[in-house]
Structure formats: structure tokens, C-alpha cells
Amino acid sequence: MNIILYGISNCDSVKKARQWLAAQAIEHQFIDFKKQAPNENLIRQWLEQIELAQVLNKRSRTWRGLSAAEQARAADDGGAIALMMQHPSLIKRPLLQHAGGIALGFDAALYTQLFCE
């Protein structure tokens, strides 16, 4: 499986993850949510491996900017998926898809465990 890093290029955590992967010479593909939003099938694949509550970033500025009615749509998977497709910045980032599954956020120790041990 190819290593794919999803996120937004100007996000500090995404920058750190990209720099770490480059420093370790780990080949990966970067997909910028601003240029290529995830589709429903991709988000559903992620949700098979990790809980919605972890993927949907309710601490984000985007979440806080949503109306109460829009936030209420996230109560079920279908509504949350639609919101994440419409507002990809609601997805916790970076999201790293690798042979062993999915990792959310950047943690150098975790990345070292995944790729260097």
C-alpha cells in the first residue's frame, strides 16, 4: 500500500508531518484537501478503521463557524460525512494512510514506530 498523507498544505501539523517524512526519505503522496476534497467512499473507508469522533475535528475553527443546525447534521455518519465532504477542514489532520491503517495528527514518536522500527 502506498503511503498517503492528507491535509491542508498551510497547516502547521501537516507541515511537520511532511518534513518528518521527507527527512526520513519515506516516499509518500500528499493530497491537499483544498485542491482535492475527499469523496464519500474514501471517508467511509477511513471510518471503517477509526471512529468518527476522532476523524471529525470539533475543535476546529471551521466547526465553530458552523450553525447549530449544521453541527447537528454530524449526529450520524451520513450527515458527518456530508459535512466533511463540504468542509474538508473539519477532518483531523494530518491523516496518514499507511499499510497498518490510519494515524491522525502528527506525533514524531508514532511515526518513528510506524516507519523506523
Which residues participate in catalysis according to the annotation? Answer: 11
How far apart, in whole angstroms, are the C-alpha atoms of residue 73 and residue 97? 26
Three state DSSP letters for the chain = CCCEEEECCCCHHHHHHHHHHHHCCCCCEEEECCCCCCCHHHHHHHHHHCCHHHHECCCCHHHHHCCHHHHHHHHCHHHHHHHHHHCHHHECCCEEEECCEEEECCCHHHHHHHHCC
